[in-house]
Structure 1
Amino acid sequence: MVAGGVEKLLASALGNPFPQVREILGGYAGLELPKREAALRSALQLLETSSQPARRSARPAARIAPPTAAPGERLPPDAEVSCLDTGPGGARKLASLGLHTLRDVLHAYPHRHEDRRALPDLAEVEEGQKVTVEGRVVAKSRRSPRPGMLVIDVTLETPSGGRVKATWFNQPWVERQLREGARLVLTGRVKRFGRSVQLGVEHLETVDGAQDSLSTGRIVGVYDSKEGISQEFLRRAAFRALQAVPLDDYLPAHWRQKYGLTDLGDALWGIHFPEDEAQLSRAHARLRFDEYLFLELRMLLQGEDAVLQGKRFEARGDDIERFEGALPFRMTNAQRRVLLEITDDMRSERQMARLVQGDVGSGKTAVAACALYLAVRDGYQGALMAPTEILARQHYSNLVGYLGQLDVRVGLLIGAMGARQKLEMQTRIAQGEVDVVVGTQALIQENVQFDNLGLAVIDEEHRFGVQQRRKLLAGRPDVLVMSATPIPRSLALTAYGDLELSIIDEMPPGRTPIETKLIQDTHRTQAYGFVMRQIREGRQAFVVTALIEENENLELLAATQLADDLKTILPEARIDLLHGRMSAAEKDHVMERFRAREFDLLVSTTVIEVGVDVPNATVMVIENAERFGLAQLHQLRGRVGRGSAQSYCVLIAGEHSKKTRQRLGIIEGSTDGFVIAEADLKLRGPGEIRGTRQSGIPDLRLADLANDTAIIEQARELAKHILAHDPRLEHPRLQYLRAELQSRSHSVAFREVI
């Protein structure tokens, strides 16, 4: 029996050497009897460990060993946070941060870590340096140097006996935490005034005795938070969640060994409360791998088609040679390599699902045409679906050129066709009288029935909805997706996780690179003088206006104003306008007129279609180029250079900073779309790369897509191995993996897939 209770004993000097015991037994009086027993067992075990001989150091070690709870006292990861003893209003605070279960708390990792094992000697800190200091408040004052301004000054005494003045400007709400005797941890920038040191505070933590081991004397995590929710509270919640949840590993030991990964318990303790840099590094590696693994599993399962039986083609070598022999050019080595990857898939019993990426002009369509030819030679039909009618017509023209001389019957089905033409084409498709059909969404209307569809080629897949794609793929044809939007391999492996990836990274010989020039807007007149000289030589030009705050009305206004200005500046030029408020048919009509050379200069917003071919256009002018991402600038530049004449891209920058010049200089100096896409990813992050917000990529907490390609490929390899052997994750040894995958998948529909 303890007079005054256990908590009173712990608050006395007897409790000072054992801060971790105080942490475990915090709130003891309010616990039910079974929980008191469990807490006491944990505390006794910790005391037994602490009593063993240990090497002494200048500062007590802050190692936190996860205690063993009593049988029956452990909580499942999906238990609500209200089960944790986090004090009054604790569950509400956690819920306000989106943390509703213990799993949420475990995976709400710190966004950075601070080394508080040996805080700096302020005598050695330089002016302007950002530091973290610890100490007790020995004096406090408030002043108002001028009306409406409040300055709070606190003098802090550090453990070494030094003193530092800390200052807050216009933050009256912090005053209640600054009572004399309070123990604080402050982060801020140093200012020196002779021998005295002043700290402009950026981050404040109050530390009580029970939280000593969590906030000082160790590597400390700093969490995302909001006003009224302290770091100490979040550390205590993470600590108690780690105590409460059995950290059963969902990755069997042999997989962890193969990929060099630590166990889950070591990783989760290590990310929240690392003993040293080595454990923190192990934790990052394991948890980053897990993020990619669950993303790849989700993408593969979501795609459904990844584990389906597909068509099995012979894809004979002599047919490939016959196709290439009919081409007016020789394929590049990159085209042949990608074609080999495609034919390996076509010969397999499993359904092909492959993405072919390649820059404008790299020869993706020729590769797709060969695959379609192989399907036709094996008695199947092929289909190529494009997002717009003008692109569908362009593909139709190309495929007639590639396949017409090989006795392949190519048909076109688009919305602009008359009812009689559509019916005739639909009948021929259903009766197998057309071998390859090119079209838009008209291909997936209910009255389109294929006789024997074996291969579906989808151009710029991200432009179609999931349901639209599935209508075309109902008969389980092999699927080939083409994209002229280069994105980094790491991003492609995540955004298109259900597809194998092939890259055509070589341009055909003899292609003239587009010359790119970056100029300031003060030299705009010279730029349009150059445009006019090209027009006089019989060429055409694009002028693109910048995206303005996602506001279509403002964008239209800017484009209209620019077109009017150019009619004044270039009175000889015939000028027309293309913008997002036009219907698809109106856009197609403008582009057809431009291709037919009915006018010289097209002023457009950012709606110019990827892949539209205007061979006579040799100049692309991009206004306010600094408002575009590098990948988008490269896409826009690809609208020219389609013919044999030398082509040019002029980037007009309305902002003249050194940072802008350096960024746009990447486009000026390179025509390799993949190099540019990698640079864009490093500069802006995956969420800002155009199109990826719709790709289904969740927020990755630890991942670094710019540098994690090797890890992503390992995670993808394991995900494919798992699903190849157990497509529904039904084996008993995968029960934890299945449960974790379901818990990380927010879509109810997806949870039902597994």
Structure 2
Amino acid sequence: MRSAPHLHLRESADPGLAAVASLPGVGPALEATLARLGILRIQDLWFHLPLRYEDRTRITAIRDLRAADSVQVEGTVEAVEQGFRFRPQLRVVITDDARSMLTLRFFSFRRTQVQQLAPGTRLRCYGQVRYGAHGFEMVHPQYQRVLADGSGVDECLTPVYPTTEGLGQKRLAVLIAKALLQLPPAAQLEQIPAPLLEPLRLQSLRDALLQVHRPAADADVAALLQGIHPSQRRLAFEELLAHHLGMKRLRARIRSHRAPGLAGTGEAQRDLLAALPFKLTGAQQRVAREIARDMSRSEPMLRLVHGDVGSGKTVVAALAALVAIESGFQVALMAPTELLAEQHLRNFRDWFAPLGIEPVWLAGKVQGKARQAAMTALQGPAQLVIGTHALMQDAVAFRKLGLVIIDEQHRFGVHQRLALRDKGADAELVPHQLVLTATPIPRTLAMTAYADLDVSRIDELPPGRSPVTTVAISTARRAEVVDRIRAACGEGRQAYWVCTLIEDSEQLEAQAAETTHAELERTLQGISIGLIHGRMKPAEKQKVMQQFQSGAISVLVATTVIEVGVDVPNASLMIMENAERLGLAQLHQLRGRVGRGSLASSCVLLYQPPLSAMARERLNALRETNDGFEIAEKDLKLRGPGELLGTRQTGRLEFRIANLTRDAAMLAEVQDVAGTMLRKHAGACDRLIARWVGNSARFADA
């Protein structure tokens, strides 16, 4: 197998920049496998850091085991049983000194293995604990035989690395060990200038790398397992610094373009505000002023507006659109789904029709003459276009694009956002960008991952919104929940029943929703029940949504397709099935579909026991608060930044060792060091970004 052309790297005097193929034993096939992990050079192996450690230094008593924990136990084999009824299976029962019992289960095993696990054999096992038919068990644990004198086992803290298909942990660890032999002296490895590093009292980068890859026998095991060891803190600081520098460079690069200065007369804005049946909150007025100030400048606006569900981001975006339109420029609003885009279309038509502005609609389902008419309008009189990914197609051209509004931006890939931004008619000018998200972003996340954007926060809900009462109920009480729906519908109110599945399968989710719909139709006779899922045609989904919004349907059974963009003030009851399977932010998004009017509203989290510790914490957090910003901070602690950010750069932004919650205290120092380095040490900035961000930096111009 020949290696891919992009893997051939120029040799360098810096050992870290040498191609990974220069290591003994790395041929073309392994080189290509490593490339899938972003490992192209020797230094990529140095900075391919452990995800976690397996603690082989202590033994957990079997009676203290908890489901989902990964632990090490020691015990004596009491019984061995082979079964072949459905498929080969080996069950080994061990007991520890307290006579507590644990089952080891193997589905793939050899005859010699069975002989090694004879009754009376002492074993030390490491694996994840789960509930089984006969109590706690481990499936395919790693194990070692303990000799009579207690020898035969290794006590260590074993790094577990991110890997890929065709590359096991042991082989990867061997490669990293070879690469570490080429670490240069400490002074040569550092990229942060000594005068900036010394006041921080951090250890050398070289010592930190050696410690995290090969923890010493006397290392602070507890600190390493918690991610707070001095070596981990040293690496986390540098990683946060590299990402921050990358974002600041990106911001400067985009700001170097020119954009049209948009001001308008303000007349259309005043007419819209006068016609609205509500008054803007103080937060909405503040954010609208920030956007208007940005758009009046000749450098591109890059502003992210985030706020809780129902905080009124759309009307703020409408005010921004009017500024551009009054200035003679066009506006494009892009949403990730047709359902959400169509909701924007209805809102903007209602608001803009009295102003003589008719939005153009462009989505995938717009074909034939209607599509051609839309395309012609964009190069002619159209002032506002609303649509989905269809707006980014090559054939779509604008007469004079001045403002791009992107809703729920984390659902779009970088190239998609670039494609729309680059449709500005004048090659010398780029349009202003306004990004909206209904996922409140924690402050620590805004300081790092969104350092390329100005961030506005709508932190005030409109008056009249009712708080949602949230309860968690076991599926064993499902009948009570159905009775609750019957009572709500009897009072003239409406309800959602949301079906979720842990598998990432639209087909399985659709089947679950169809089954629930049929069950509720049998149980709730006389009540109109609708169904909506991702496998339905757009026209079918739209028809059902219109019936639900008009009140013709009382109960809507849906998948998470209704997470954003559905506004039915009369819906006051939300049932979420299998709630333990969803992340906290998504649970909060779904809950935001109710409580949109003055009716007292409720959310029922139906869960399948037993709950894991993480699921219990998520559900408790949702019960305790309706504040999306509090929930976002909690979600960041529970899940890390990856899922909150969504697709960014060339994939999900996953830090290798930094943790934005745990390491938040470092951010002020990170910003200070970054500012000095950008002013005085440009070359070191480049090398730091390449070391930690790598090739993804070139895709970040969005």
Residue 647 of structure 1 aligns to which amino acid in structure 2?
S
Q: Distance in 2 between matches of 1:427 and 1:623?
A: 46
Which among 2, 8, 16 is matched to residue 77 of structure 1?
16
Equivalent residue, structure 2, for 1:241: 182
Equivalent residue, structure 2, for 1:585: 539
Which among 516, 535, 542 is matched to residue 562 of structure 1?
516
Q: Relative contact order (C-alpha < 8 Å, sep 6+): which is higher? A: 2
Equivalent residue, structure 2, for 1:684: 639
Q: Distance in 1 between matches of 2:329 and 2:27?
A: 60
1:488-519 per-residue CA deviation (whole Å, 9 max, x = no partner) reads: 34445555554332221221222111222222
Equivalent residue, structure 1, for 2:581: 627
Distance change (3 Å), C-alpha of 1:376 and 1:715: farther
Which among 358, 380, 387 is matched to residue 439 of structure 1?
387
- 5 Å-filtered alignment, 1:97-246, equals 101-109=41-49, 222-224=158-160, 237=178, 240-243=181-184
Instruction: Give the percent of matched residue pairs that are identical in Structure 1 and Structure 2.
Output: 38
1:714-734 per-residue CA deviation (whole Å, 9 max, x = no partner) reads: 6567668877x6xxxxx9x53
Matched, 1:700 2:636: no
Instruction: Report if aligned partners of 2:646, 2:652 keep a CA contact under 8 Å in 1.
Output: no
Residue 18 of structure 2 aligns to which amino acid in structure 1?
A
Matched, 1:430 2:370: no
Deviation at 1:441, TM superposition (A): 3.9
Tell me whether 269-278 or 394-403 shows the greater mean CA deviation. 269-278
Deviation at 1:480, TM superposition (A): 0.3
Deviation at 1:266, TM superposition (A): 6.0
Equivalent residue, structure 2, for 1:373: 322
Equivalent residue, structure 2, for 1:388: 337
Deviation at 1:443, TM superposition (A): 3.7
Instruction: Report if aligned partners of 1:80, 1:100 keep a CA contact under 8 Å in 2.
Output: yes
Q: Distance in 1 between matches of 2:196 and 2:187?
A: 20
Distance change (3 Å), C-alpha of 1:625 and 1:81: closer
Matched, 1:456 2:404: yes
Q: Distance in 1 between matches of 2:63 and 2:609?
A: 30
Equivalent residue, structure 2, for 1:672: 627
Q: Give the secondary-structure state (helix, strand or coil) at the position aligned to 1:310.
A: coil
- 5 Å-filtered alignment, 1:548-559, equals 548-559=502-513
Matched, 1:250 2:199: no
Q: Distance in 1 between matches of 2:509 and 2:490?
A: 29
Equivalent residue, structure 1, for 2:284: 335
Distance change (3 Å), C-alpha of 1:359 and 1:711: same
- 5 Å-filtered alignment, 1:308-347, equals 308-314=257-263, 324=273, 327-347=276-296
Matched, 1:289 2:237: yes
Q: Distance in 2 between matches of 1:642 and 1:221?
A: 51
Q: Give the secondary-structure state (helix, strand or coil) at the position aligned to 1:338.
A: helix
Distance change (3 Å), C-alpha of 1:521 and 1:235: closer
Tell me whether 704-713 or 630-639 shows the greater mean CA deviation. 704-713
Q: Kindly name which structure, 1 or 2, has the bigger radius of gyration based on alpha carbons.
A: 1
Matched, 1:513 2:473: no
Q: Distance in 1 between matches of 2:76 and 2:623?
A: 55
Q: Give the secondary-structure state (helix, strand or coil) at the position aligned to 2:632.
A: helix
Q: Distance in 1 between matches of 2:197 and 2:358?
A: 51
In structure 1, list runs of 5 or more residues that go unmatched: 1-72, 131-141, 152-167, 177-185, 190-199, 206-214, 726-730
Q: Distance in 2 between matches of 1:752 and 1:459?
A: 19
Q: Distance in 2 between matches of 1:146 and 1:648?
A: 52
Tell me whether 436-445 or 73-82 shows the greater mean CA deviation. 73-82
Q: Distance in 2 between matches of 1:110 and 1:420?
A: 56
Q: Give the secondary-structure state (helix, strand or coil) at the position aligned to 1:77.
A: helix
Instruction: Report if aligned partners of 1:299, 1:497 keep a CA contact under 8 Å in 2.
Output: yes
RMSD in angstroms over aligned alpha carbons? 5.0
Deviation at 1:429, TM superposition (A): 4.1
Q: Distance in 1 between matches of 2:55 and 2:488?
A: 62
Matched, 1:362 2:317: no
Instruction: Report if aligned partners of 2:244, 2:449 keep a CA contact under 8 Å in 1.
Output: no
Q: Distance in 1 between matches of 2:232 and 2:311?
A: 38
Which among 436, 452, 468 is matched to residue 482 of structure 1?
436
Q: Distance in 2 between matches of 1:640 and 1:752?
A: 36
Q: Distance in 2 between matches of 1:502 and 1:469?
A: 20
Distance change (3 Å), C-alpha of 1:470 and 1:285: same
Distance change (3 Å), C-alpha of 1:573 and 1:108: same
Q: Distance in 2 between matches of 1:110 and 1:429?
A: 51
Deviation at 1:484, TM superposition (A): 1.4
Deviation at 1:589, TM superposition (A): 2.7
Distance change (3 Å), C-alpha of 1:204 and 1:744: farther
Q: TM-score, normalised by structure 1?
A: 0.66
Q: Give the secondary-structure state (helix, strand or coil) at the position aligned to 1:247.
A: helix
Q: Give the secondary-structure state (helix, strand or coil) at the position aligned to 1:619.
A: strand
Q: Give the secondary-structure state (helix, strand or coil) at the position aligned to 2:160.
A: coil
Equivalent residue, structure 2, for 1:598: 552
Q: Distance in 1 between matches of 2:203 and 2:275?
A: 55
Residue 646 of structure 1 aligns to which amino acid in structure 2?
A
Q: Distance in 1 between matches of 2:13 and 2:55?
A: 31
Deviation at 1:568, TM superposition (A): 1.0
Q: Distance in 2 between matches of 1:420 and 1:108?
A: 53
Q: Give the secondary-structure state (helix, strand or coil) at the position aligned to 1:607.
A: helix
Q: TM-score, normalised by structure 2?
A: 0.71
Deviation at 1:648, TM superposition (A): 2.1
Equivalent residue, structure 2, for 1:197: none
Q: Distance in 2 between matches of 1:577 and 1:101?
A: 52
Deviation at 1:572, TM superposition (A): 0.9
In structure 2, list runs of 5 or more residues that go unmatched: 1-11, 66-74, 82-89, 93-103, 117-123, 128-140, 147-153, 162-167, 425-429
Tell me whether 412-421 or 574-583 shows the greater mean CA deviation. 412-421
Residue 224 of structure 1 aligns to which amino acid in structure 2?
V
Deviation at 1:661, TM superposition (A): 4.5
1:32-60 per-residue CA deviation (whole Å, 9 max, x = no partner) reads: xxxxxxxxxxxxxxxxxxxxxxxxxxxxx
Q: Give the secondary-structure state (helix, strand or coil) at the position aligned to 1:223.
A: strand
Tell me whether 326-335 or 489-498 shows the greater mean CA deviation. 489-498
Q: Distance in 1 between matches of 2:145 and 2:459?
A: 51
Deviation at 1:605, TM superposition (A): 1.9
Q: Give the secondary-structure state (helix, strand or coil) at the position aligned to 1:562.
A: helix
Distance change (3 Å), C-alpha of 1:359 and 1:314: same
Q: Distance in 2 between matches of 1:520 and 1:310?
A: 55
Residue 685 of structure 1 aligns to which amino acid in structure 2?
G
Deviation at 1:590, TM superposition (A): 2.2
Equivalent residue, structure 1, for 2:618: 663
1:444-471 per-residue CA deviation (whole Å, 9 max, x = no partner) reads: 4555443322211111223334343333
Instruction: Report if aligned partners of 1:346, 1:478 keep a CA contact under 8 Å in 2.
Output: yes
Q: Distance in 1 between matches of 2:417 and 2:20?
A: 41
Deviation at 1:373, TM superposition (A): 2.3
Q: Distance in 2 between matches of 1:93 and 1:557?
A: 41
Matched, 1:536 2:490: yes
Matched, 1:472 2:420: yes
Q: Distance in 1 between matches of 2:169 and 2:431?
A: 54
Q: Distance in 2 between matches of 1:533 and 1:697?
A: 44
Q: Distance in 2 between matches of 1:640 and 1:546?
A: 18
Instruction: Report if aligned partners of 2:414, 2:699 keep a CA contact under 8 Å in 1.
Output: no
Equivalent residue, structure 1, for 2:427: none
Q: Distance in 1 between matches of 2:519 and 2:195?
A: 68
Q: Give the secondary-structure state (helix, strand or coil) at the position aligned to 1:375.
A: helix
Distance change (3 Å), C-alpha of 1:715 and 1:409: farther
